[in-house]
Chain A
Amino acid sequence: MDSSISNKPRTLFEKVWDAHCVRAQTADEPGILYIDLHLVHEVTSPQAFDVLRERGLPVSRPALTFATMDHSTPTTPRQPDGTWIFGDAQAEAQVRTLQRNCLDFGIELHALGDPGQGIVHVVGPEAGRTQPGMTVVCGDSHTATHGAFGALAFGIGTSEVGHVLATQCLLQRRPRTLAVRVEGRLRDGVTAKDLILALIAQIGVGGGTGHVIEYIGPAIRALSMEGRMTVCNMSIEAGARAGMIAPDETTFAWLKGRPGAPQGKAWEQALSAWRALPSDAAATYDREVVLDASRIEPMVTFGTNPGQAIPVTGLVPDPASCESASERSTLESALRYMGLRPGTPIGDVLVDVVFIGSCTNGRLSDLREAASVLRGRKVRARTLVVPGSRAVKAQAEVEGLDRVFLEAGAEWREPGCSMCIAMNGDRLEPGQACVSTSNRNFEGRQGRGGRTFLAGAGTAAASAIRGRIADPRQTYDAGENAGPAQGPTNREEG
């Protein structure tokens, strides 16, 4: 630890960073950062385990390593004979490889069907493994999700997965800090997803590059842990290395009693350490951005990057009004891909598929939000509801949410990443429009030629009922407000 900085007021990020510096960086060399929790999944780990085998190395700290399978796993039910039907042989081989690697190297694995299995960023916190003040990494860019607990959590590549497996450390340069202050309060019907989409629309998909974001301000304090995870999850979509929120009573209440959380006396000790984590009042950030929560509306993306978002009541923007040639061409190519014309009300867009799930919005609170919209109504678009974990699925079933979805005509699936990344066979057909609660609307993300409109769970559910992109604050009855297209829509060019 660098003692010269111990008297200086520090941010949450700086406190966590300093506490994990095995060796501080110099002009010539990066620092060595110790990792408290390494999450592993089937897609980005096989080549890292191969390197360990080639070099004859063990996993340095198996107890700090936690594996699950999520990306290429099926979301259709287990067969009566206990087997699973994979999308293809390659996906199955990848899952088997993770099983073998975890067995060979002594790593705790939550395999298909295990009650602790699910999307890595949903199950880590559920198990109480993610805790304030920790450093958490995973070969997955949405690792920032865990920053909701006041952890420094970021995505790494497969080479770095190997580094952490072998040494429990990473070579890192200290990133800069960006404070995102969210003033005011979110209005009724506006969620954490809308907040983060509004932020990315404001600062751009490269707006956080080189920085760790700390989300501060009253609107952030008012969020539930689930809402905080949704916000931190999408930090990477603004290009940020990580997103963090200082722990508070909401955090502690959520963690208490979870299997991986400290118990008894250790809990009291942990609490006092965690209470010292929030940024000091006089601490400064390299940059600060301010957002007014009370002006945010339910948001939806219209383009092919997560920064291309507008209120659900808005119009598709016109490339003619762009300031620079590069912005214009970016917007033009996005609209071409999405089959949209400038000036079209986004609420005119016809929807083929609705996907409710992912590490952004596949938690219980999201399913409750969707169910409250769908209860007693019928969907007009194919609707997939994919819980983020087996625990989320079980609890949703206890609450009868599965019945609500099935009675509305939606599909109720097994947990996994599913149509967020379209690796397991759940995917869009070319030209299909999908309102999705996931985090990326990149070209082809949900299937080649598929068109993704990112939104919150309430917006997605309302759009399923309406058959067009909908405002979750309105009530739509089957048949009403839908009907034939008035004016140009996305279907004409599809």
Chain B
Amino acid sequence: MEPLRIVESPVVVMPRDNMDTDQVIPARFLKVTDKVGLGAALFADWRYHSDGTPLPDFVLNRPEASKAQILVAGDNFGCGSSREHAAWAIRDFGFRVVISTSVADIFRNNALRNGILPVVVDPDVHAKLVASPGATVRVDLEQMTLTLPDGTQRTFAVDAFARHCLLNGVDEMGYLLAHKDAIAAFEEKR
């Protein structure tokens, strides 16, 4: 997994609450057997006409979005389906950080395993971010700080193990495999 330490980038703002993973990537794009190029399907039903041509006004179709690495989303982001394709699509589009007032459980786990950091902030910080699309925000995972466009700094919480994995690019499969003796002993004992 690609490590993540500091991300400094303009933010893309999509403030709608409860954006579910069926919106992030509609089910018809889940028929793939690999993960390649899913960024093109990110928010497909909001982003394209039914004939596949892009809707020019949609936030992800604006030129600034193509370079942005931080997505500011509404409350309860990523609810619904467990499809990891949602995290793959977000990562493939170029995002490394998703900031919201809350993130759904399964999506949070899927994001972390794909080098995406979910950052949960208070409503007042969120309101500031929502009001500043395109402004630059700095996320420092090492220090667990967020530098807002007005220069003020806030801290955020992140699970210690998730932070360790992201900072060092540790993948969980390797970690679990390293415990294979403990697992075998557990199986023996039952």
Measuring CB to CB, which residues of chain A are less than 8 angstroms from any residue of chain B?
22-23, 27-30, 32, 34, 43-44, 46-47, 50-51, 55, 57, 71-72, 88, 90-91, 93-94, 97, 139-141, 155-160, 162-163, 166-171, 173, 175, 205-206, 209-210, 236-237, 239, 241, 305, 326, 329-330, 333, 421-423, 430, 440, 442-445, 448-449
User: Complex Cα distance A93/B32, Å?
Assistant: 9
- Is B17 on the interface with A (CB-CB < 8 A)? yes
Write the chain B residue with the least CB distance to A141: B82
Q: Knowing A55-B173, A423-B28 are in contact, say whether A22-B183 is a contact too (CB < 8 A).
A: yes
Q: Given known contacts A23-B182, A47-B33, is B22 in contact with A171 (CB within 8 Å)?
A: no
Contact of A209 among B33, B105, B173 (CB under 8 A): B105
In the bound complex, do residue B76 and residue A206 qualify as a contact, i.e. CB atoms below 8 Å apart? yes
CA of A126 to CA of B167, assembled, Å: 44
B33–chain A nearest beta-carbon distance, Å: 4
- Name the contact of A155 in the complex, choosing from B26, B106, B114 (C-beta under 8 A): B106
Are the CB atoms of B26 and A32 closer together than 8 Å? no
Q: What separation, in Å, do the CA atoms of A205 and B110 have in the docked complex?
A: 19
In the assembled complex, B84 has its CB within 8 A of some CB on chain A: yes
**Contacts across chains A and B counted by CB atoms under 8 Å:** 167
Establish whether residues B26 and A448, one from each chain, have CB atoms under 8 Å apart when the complex forms.
Answer: yes
Contact B27 A167 (CB under 8 A): no
Interface residues in chain B, defined as those with a beta carbon under 8 Å from any beta carbon in chain A: 16-18, 20, 22-23, 26-28, 30-35, 45, 50, 74-76, 79-84, 87, 102, 104-106, 109-110, 113-114, 159-161, 164, 172-173, 175-177, 179-180, 182-183, 186-187
B-side contacts of A210, CB under 8 Å: 105
Nearest CB of A to B144, in Å: 15
16 pairs across A/B with beta carbons < 8 Å? A22-B183, A43-B30, A47-B84, A51-B173, A55-B173, A90-B31, A97-B33, A155-B106, A159-B172, A168-B183, A205-B79, A421-B27, A423-B30, A430-B50, A440-B20, A442-B23
Q: Are B17's CB and A326's CB within 8 A?
A: yes
**Are A442 and B22 neighbours in the complex by a CB distance under 8 Å?**
yes
CB-based contact B173/A44 at 8 Å: no
Q: Which residues of A contact B159 (CB under 8 A)?
A: 30, 173
Q: Are the C-beta atoms of A93 and B176 separated by less than 8 Å? A: no
Roughly how many angstroms separate A94 CA and B32 CA in the complex, as a whole number? Answer: 7
Q: Given A46-B33, A209-B104, A442-B80, decide whether A167 and B113 contact each other with a Cβ distance below 8 A.
A: no
Query: Is B31 in contact with A239, judged by CB distance below 8 angstroms?
Result: no
Give, as a whole number of angstroms, the nearest-CB distance from B92 to chain A: 13
For the complex of A and B, the 7 pairs showing the least CB-CB separation, nearest first, are: A157-B84, A46-B33, A90-B31, A157-B110, A155-B82, A206-B76, A141-B82
Chain B residues whose CB sits within 8 angstroms of the CB of A23 once the complex forms:
179, 182
Cross-interface CB contact of A443 among B23, B76, B83, cutoff 8 Å = B23
Residues of B contacting A71 in the complex (Cβ-Cβ under 8 angstroms): 30
Known: A23-B182, A47-B34, A139-B82. A206 touches B113 (CB 8 A): no
Q: Looking at the complex, which one of B106, B176, B182 makes contact with A157 (CB distance below 8 Å)? A: B106
Separation of A448 and B160 alpha carbons in the complex (Å): 40
- Closest chain-B Cβ to A211's Cβ sits at a distance in Å of 9
Partner of B22, one of A57, A330, A443: A443
Bound CA span A160–B172, Å: 9
How near does chain A come to B58, taking the closest CB pair, in angstroms? 14
Query: What chain A residues lie within 8 Å of B109 (beta carbons)?
Result: 156-157, 160
